[in-house]
Each structure stands twice: as structure tokens, then as C-alpha cells.
Amino acid sequence: MKKIINWMLAIIMVCGSSVVMSSCGDDDEDKKDSQLTPNTYEVTLSAVLPECTAEFFTLDIEYTGADGNASKATMKAGDKSDAMSEKMKKLYDERKEFVLTLGGWADNKEKWALFDQLIVKNFTFVVPAGKSFNYKATTKVRTDFTQPSGKTFPFIEPFVYLGSKRISGNSQDNSIFTERLGLSAQDAVETENLAAFIEMYDGKVIAEDARTMN
């Protein structure tokens, strides 16, 4: 009988210990969750207007930050260029090489030079988790452009790059999202078709997007 009682006491003690350990674990988990703070991100929209394209078009940028304030900017020939971020430069160089190789211009130094003559404007704003932002980039024909003298002229379509980084908070970092960096070019647009070409790109939305940060 004594052995049976001791055995039952042992079971009770083990069960009691299990309960205590489980309770402590739950407390630790709750404490860990209570220490999480929402993230805040710095978002950078980089708009790019190639200089050869700036001879014919301006690039209008519209964006609304997390505060709901709408902003506008117009990029044009002669504007001072900002610098690309390291990550943007890497992506652009990869895309540039692909486009040049695809077009058969990989060994053409003059074509490479055109892709390096860019006007870059960076627009940076802060977006807390759960807040949204949007942007749109539109080309507009210049009224004072000069008629090309040759039979053809090069055209590199303007584009945008979007990037972000977490600047505060310790929740899951969702700063890496699908980036936009489209790049397309036409080696030889026929001058005699300039009017139709201009009309096609006048008021064209190059990029448009709306995002919510998590």
C-alpha cells in the first residue's frame, strides 16, 4: 500500500511540474509577442528619363505618401541627375546588358553610352506598416523638340525603380517586395514616322502602382 501511495505522489509531482513548465513557456511567448513593434519603412521611388528621350518628352511623376499628401514633379532635359542606389544600379546594369545583347548591340560603344546618359530623380517617403502609397509616371511630348536630322533616331523608354528598407520596428521585415525596373529600347525609330511615334507616347502611363506595407 505504501508503494502505491508513493507511486501516486510521484505521478502528481510530475504532472505538477509539467503544468508549471507549460505555464512558464506561455508566459515567455506572451512576453516575446508583447515586445514586437510594428515596422516603419523608407520607400524610394527612382524615376529615370534617358537623355536621348528627354529631347522629345518630359516625365511627369505623381505620388501620394502614407500621410495622404499628393505630390507632383516634372523631369525634363537639363535637369541635374540624382545617384542610383547600389541595388538599383546592379539591377539596371543586368537589365541593360540583356537589352543590348538582345538587340545585337553588345559591342556597340555608342549604344552603351546612350544607356549611361540618364536623368534620375529619387523621391523618398516614410511608410509605417499598414499604411499605403501610390505613384504614377507619365510621358508628355515637348512642344519645343527639334526634328531629328537623320533617317532614324534612338529611343529608350523612361522607367521607374521602387525599393524600400526597414528603418524601425522589430516585426517580420517585409521590405523586400517585387521591384519594378522595366527597360525597353528601340534602336532606330524612323524619322518620317515621328508624328505617329510622338502621338503614341504623349500622355502614356509608363508605370502606375499602389502598395500597402506590412
Which band of pLDDT confidence, cut at 50, 70 and 90, is reported for residue 47? very high
Note the residue count of the chain: 214
Q: Which residue has the higher pLDDT, 87 or 49?
A: 49
Which band of pLDDT confidence, cut at 50, 70 and 90, is reported for residue 108? confident
Identify the residue whose cell numbers are 513593434. Answer: 37
Q: Where are the domains of the chain?
A: 1-35, 40-212
pTM here?
Answer: 0.81
Region of poorest pLDDT, from 3-7, 57-61, 145-149? 3-7
Indicate the Cα dihedral angle 104, 108, 109, 111, nearest 10°.
-50
Closest CA to 59 of 120, 124, 138: 138
Per-residue model confidence (pLDDT) at position 32:
53
pLDDT of residue 179 exceeding 90: no
Q: What's the rounded Cα separation, in Å, for the pair 26 and 35?
A: 14
Mean pLDDT of the chain: 85
Secondary structure class of 181 (helix, strand, coil): coil
pLDDT of residue 198 exceeding 70: yes
Closest CA to 158 of 58, 91, 79, 72: 58
Question: What is the grid cell recorded at 108?
Answer: 556597340
Which band of pLDDT confidence, cut at 50, 70 and 90, is reported for residue 29? low
Calculate what percentage of the chain has a pLDDT beyond 70. Answer: 82
Secondary structure class of 104 (helix, strand, coil): coil
Q: Which residue has the higher pLDDT, 178 or 9?
A: 178
Calculate what percentage of the chain has a pLDDT beyond 90. Answer: 65
